[in-house]
Structure formats: structure tokens, C-alpha cells
């Protein structure tokens, strides 16, 4: 599985480490909240809202340099909108990878 990285954040910052840290701090704050909401909606079977959660989360996936994972998130979002949960295990593995990575920063 691919590993998260800060390449995109570095490319956006132009070397401004304060900007980089601010963006990382925002992601570290928002990601657990968005993951919790994702699981809540998935648990109650609200697949439309779960798809919206995935839509929001895929932006963080992209920011953390996870191109293949982003593609999985897009496919999972489409699956949810069609009423199925295929790719949920793969998507949740991505969420775990991101969470673990952010704890190292």
C-alpha cells in the first residue's frame, strides 16, 4: 500500500514551514472528526451521507499524496451513491494509514 507524504503540502507552501504546519494541524484536527462522522453514517445505513463524508475525506487523501487511494475513494463514493458498500474495507484501511501517519508528525 502506498504511504502518505507531505510532497503536495511542500509544493504548495513555497518553503513556508509555518504554512505547512498550519495545514498539517488543520488536517490532524479535522480528520478524526470526519472519520467519526463517516462511521456514524455508515453504521446507521445512510449511504448518501456516507458518500458525502467520503467526498470530504478524499480531499485529505489527495493532500497527503495518496493518488491510488484517491482513486479508491472516488470509486467507493460512487458505489455508495449506487447503494452498495463495496470497497469499504479498502477505504477504511486508507483512513487507518492516514491516521497512523499523522500521529508521527
* Per-residue pLDDT at 91: 98
Q: What is the pLDDT of residues 47-101, one digit of tens each?
A: 999 999 999 999 999 999 999 999 999 999 999 999 999 999 999 999 999 999 9
Q: CA 1 to CA 94: how far, in whole Å?
A: 9
Q: Is the pLDDT of residue 1 over 90?
A: no
Predicted model pTM: 0.95
User: Phi, psi (5° rounding) for residue 95?
Assistant: -60, -40
What residue spans define the domains of the chain?
A: 47-105
Amino acid at each position: 500500500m502506498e504511504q502518505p507524504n507531505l510532497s503536495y503540502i511542500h509544493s504548495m507552501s513555497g518553503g513556508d514551514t509555518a504554512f505547512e504546519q498550519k495545514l498539517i494541524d488543520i488536517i490532524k484536527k479535522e480528520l478524526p472528526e470526519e472519520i467519526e462522522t463517516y462511521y456514524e453514517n455508515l453504521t446507521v445505513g445512510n449511504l448518501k451521507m456516507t458518500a458525502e463524508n467520503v467526498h470530504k475525506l478524499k480531499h485529505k487523501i489527495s493532500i497527503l499524496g495518496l493518488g491510488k487511494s484517491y482513486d479508491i475513494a472516488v470509486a467507493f463514493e460512487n458505489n455508495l451513491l449506487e447503494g452498495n458498500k463495496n470497497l469499504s474495507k479498502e477505504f477504511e484501511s486508507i483512513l487507518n494509514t492516514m491516521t497512523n501517519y499523522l500521529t508521527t508528525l
